[in-house]
Amino acid sequence: MNTSPTPRIAIIGAGPGGLTCARILQLHGIAVTVHDQAPGPDARDQGGTLDLHEDNGQIALREAGLLEEFFRLSRPEGQEMRQLDPQGTLLFHHTAEEGDRFKPEIDRGQLRDLLLNSLRPGTVRWGRTLEAVDGPEEGPRQLHFADGTTVEADLVIGADGAWSKVRRALSPATPEYTGVSFLEAWFHDVENRHPDIAGLVGQGSASAADGDRALFAQRSSGDHIRVYVIQRVPADWITASGLTVQDTDGIRTLLLERFRDWSPSLRRLIGDNDGRYVDRPIHALPVPHTWDHNPTVTLLGDAAHLMPPLGVGVNLAMLDACELALALANHHSVDDALHAYEKTLLPRSTEMQRLLDHGAEHLLSTELPDFAQQEGA
C-alpha cells in the first residue's frame, strides 16, 4: 500500500479470520493491531476440530506462509466419516486415501495458536471489549472499549463473529435463531475411559439422525471426543423444561427420554459425558446480508455472513481475511482496497448464504452424503 501517511488499521476479534488477516498484512509490511475481548489467549476453550479445505482455508494459510506447519499439525485421518441409523447400523463409511490433504482436520486451538504465534509480539491487545464504533464515515474512526479507553483508526475490520459490534456501523442486521440447537458434550481420555465410544466414532466423525433429532460426534487430538446433540427446539428449551444449563443430571435425564428409542450405543453419546453440557443455539444472518460501501469499515467471516455450521465458516473467514489483506497490500488507498475486496466478498457470501439458507435443518436429515452413492457403506 502506497498511501501516505500509513493508515492505522484495527482488527476487532482474534479468531482465525482476524489473525489470518493480521499475519498476511504483517508479511506485506503493513502495521496492524488486533483487539480481542478475552482477557488472554488461554481464557476460554477454543472449540473442537475443523477441516481446512484446499480451495479456501488452505489458500489463506499458503499466503500466510503457514501451510506446511498446518500440515504438520493436522490430522488427515480425521477425514474419516461414519453415518449410522438410530439403531446403530452403519449406513456409510468414508476413509481418506493415503496422502489425501484436501480437508484434513485440526483442533481449533492448534490453529489459533499457529496463527497467534506467527504475529509480532504485542500485535494482539487482550481484554479489549468493543462497545461502539463512531466518528465520520471518511475517518478517522473512534473505537470505544468497555474499559473506558478510545482508540483512533483509519480502517476498522470487523472479525468479531456472530454478535459483531463493528457490524452495527454498516448494517442493522442481527442474527436470527434458526430453530435448531446444539448441546455440546465432552469426553476425555476416550481410549481408556470410553472405549466403546472411541470405537464407534473412529478417527474422524460419526453421526446419526431421524429427521427430528441428531447426534454428531467428532474426535479431537489428545484423545478427546466432542458430541453435539442436535434438536429442533425453541432457543430457550432448557429453561422451558424447568432446568438450567448447570443442571447436568436433569438435562441428561430429559435427553435420554427424548432419545429413548435409539440404540444403547448411541445413547452413550448423551449420557456418559464428562462434565457439563454447553448450550449452543444456532443463529444465522438474514439472507442475503450486504451493506453499502464504507471507506473506513468492513467485515469478514461470521461478522459478514453468519451461516449454519455446515463446514464452511472458518474456511470462508480465512479466505475473506486473505483477500482483504492482499487487497490492502496491492492498492494505493484503503478505499480502493475495500472496493476490490467487497466486489468479490459480497457476491460469494450471498451465493453461499442462499445455498445454506435453512441449512440447519439439513443437520437433522437422514439422507446420506452425495458421494456415498459411489462409495457404498
Q: Is 154 annotated as a binding residue?
A: no
Can you count the helices (H) and strands (E) in the chain? 13, 17
Report CA-CA distances (Å) from 221 to 48, 188, 268.
9, 10, 21
CB atoms within 10 A of CB 251: 23
| Residue 165 near residue 10, CB atoms below 8 Å | no
Say how many Å lie between the first and final Cα of the chain, rounded: 53
Q: What is the DSSP letter of 221?
A: T
Distance CA 334, CA 338 (A): 6
Q: Is 147 annotated as a binding residue?
A: no
Which residue has 479431537 as its cell numbers? 220
CB atoms within 10 A of CB 232: 17
Rg from Cα positions in the chain: 21
Tell me the three cell numbers of residue 263.
440404540
Q: Is 42 annotated as a binding residue?
A: no
Q: Is 302 annotated as a binding residue?
A: yes
Give the residue numbers of the binding site for FAD.
Answer: 51, 108, 302
Give the residue numbers of the binding site for NADPH.
Answer: 44
Give the residue numbers of the binding site.
Answer: 44, 51, 108, 302
